[in-house]
Amino acid sequence: MSYLLYTIVFLLLLVIVGLFLFTLFISKRVELGMPPEGRFLQVQGTRVHYLEQGSGPSIVMIHGLSGVAQNFGYQVLGELARDHRVIAIDRPGSGYSVRHPHSSAALHVQADVVAGVIDALKLERPLIVGHSLGGAVALATALRHPGKVSGLALIAPLTHMPSETSKAFAALDIPYLWLRKLVGWTLAIPLSIRNREKVLDIVFGPESAPKDFPLRGGGYLGMRPSQFIAASSDMHALPEVLPAMQQRYVSLTLPVSVLYGRQDRILDPQEQGQALVDALPGTQLELIDGGHMLPITQPAITSEFIRRVLARVASTRA
């Protein structure tokens, strides 16, 4: 009996080591094939990677859960950079940004990092563009640092605690950090490869993910344990701050506009978009036909939306 037990333990350890080595191999291949494209800042112990283009009035872009700064690379960043200084950041722990090992993933902490980037780059009250979870970070930044922000352009934003978690992110539902690290370094990447098409169908649907998304959109950067661990931490930190934020939206006095796809499969436009309008009168909500990944699937419409918000901000300054 003891021999059988030892054999099972040995085989289990062999499987774990094999999964670890496979994950390490994939992670290194991704990083060699997709080195950092931008620059780095040190903000509150977090090494922040960011992309920057253009000159003029500033715009800061914040991606969503499991995303990276390159999510804005489908025309949006480049088009707006024709007459604006545009900074797209990798949120703490995402892309090539390294979260301090003792730092929280809570929204208010991420908001303080965004404010630190604004200060470090000497941006004068930028418009903040937030997609998905990045919308919640944008809202947290405006609530905590109102003097640093001129307006919010929110694309398919998370604004309220969702009634249910999308199946696309079910694997992230791990409450303990040690278990996130174990899964991240063993099962997460092989399962991501296996379920890639199914997950992309939910995240992008009813639209299709571009064939070049893994490279151009930064999709391959998600095939690393650090990205999985950070995303799981982001998701489990939401209840710490988001419910309290919901009660404070009415205190916002800056222009806020929201763009949502009616067929969004990740977040409910009514539960998130209309709910923000109800909580913060004056918020402008635009609904279009489309899914969740509008900066990638509908970059022209997204860019036009952001420009309308810029014009709205300018009119309030006049």
Tens of pLDDT, residues 100-125:
888 899 999 999 999 999 999 999 99
210-233, pLDDT tens digit by residue?
A: 999 999 999 999 899 999 999 999
Instruction: Say whether pLDDT at 314 is over 60.
Output: yes
Instruction: Say whether pLDDT at 318 is over 90.
Output: no
Query: What's the half-sphere exposure (Cβ side, CA atoms, 13 Å) at 163?
Result: 6
Q: Which amino acid is at 210?
A: P
**The dihedral sign for the CA sequence 122, 125, 127, 131:** positive
Instruction: Say whether pLDDT at 165 is over 90.
Output: no
* pLDDT band at residue 4 using 50, 70 and 90 as cut-offs: confident
Phi/psi at 83 (5° precision): -140, 20
Task: Name the pairing type of β-strands 284-288 and 151-155.
Answer: unpaired
Q: Are 132 and 64 in contact (CB under 8 A)?
A: yes
Percent above pLDDT 90 for the chain = 82
Gap between the Cα atoms of 49 and 205, Å rounded: 29
9-29, pLDDT tens digit by residue?
A: 777 888 888 999 999 999 999
Q: What is the pLDDT of residue 7?
A: 76
Q: What is the pTM of this model?
A: 0.93
Average pLDDT, the chain: 93
Output the CA torsion 66→69→75→80 (10° steps): 130
CATH class of the structural domain 2-317: alpha beta
Average pLDDT of span 140-156 = 97
Average pLDDT of span 172-190 = 92
Q: What is the pLDDT of residue 1?
A: 54
Q: Are 289 and 263 in contact (CB under 8 A)?
A: yes
Q: What is the pLDDT of residue 317?
A: 73
